[in-house]
Amino acid sequence: MASKEKHKIVFVTGNLKKLEEVKAILGTTVELTHHKLDLTEIQGTSREVSTDKCRRASIELNGPVITEDTCLCFNAMDGLPGPYIKWFIDKLHHDGINKMLSGFEDKTAYALCTFAYCAKPGTDPILFEGRTEGKIVPERGLKYFGWDPIFQPDGFDQTYAEMSKETKNSISHRYKALNKLRDFLNTNSS
């Protein structure tokens, strides 16, 4: 009986912290490399952004790719800032995000991760989503990874930034999406 061949996939990212997390979560399921592409990101939902980005990356790199879009959605703001959180963090920083919510009693939020996989150019991307419920809190923990210091997942008294990498990687929105991707790849191996 022949052993299953590993999928060789390019993760389109320039974020080395994100790459580190993805490799830790996927483990040996895939032979993962990465490539930074400056793709113009369309405006839209996380699903629309992910699909478009993955389709164009697969064409540009001429092979199988995964892309990711991560959102932080505030229930008080009907899901905003959503896929635009990166720009909100860049301009307002963590304290500014908390000030945005100061007029609302509801501080609940959810982290949403959408991975898109495209097997080859010209094929439709397949989407894998993971969602973690939580709340927005004043900044706590290390500040080196996006909005981790202000998101506290339900059932925990720590923010993502205060957790060990192992704990975060076992409960996060990214973990949940990648679990679905891993299951798909294992089911559809060469």
- Cβ atoms within 10 Å of 183's Cβ, excluding its own: 12
H or E stretch covering 83: none
Decide if 46 contacts 68 (C-beta within 8 A).
no
Binding site as annotated, residues for Mg(2+): 41, 69
Q: Distance between CA 144 and CA 157 in Å, rounded? A: 20
3-state secondary structure of 76: helix
Decide if 94 contacts 146 (C-beta within 8 A).
no
Q: Distance between CA 174 and CA 70 in Å, rounded? A: 8
Q: Where are the alpha helices (DSSP H) in 28-81?
A: 46-61
- Give the pairing of strands 108-118 and 81-82: unpaired
3-state secondary structure of 156: coil
Helix axes 16-26, 173-187, angle to 10 degrees: 50
Binding site as annotated, residues for ITP: 13-18, 53, 69-70, 145-148, 168, 173-174
Binding site as annotated, residues: 13-18, 41, 53, 69-70, 145-148, 168, 173-174
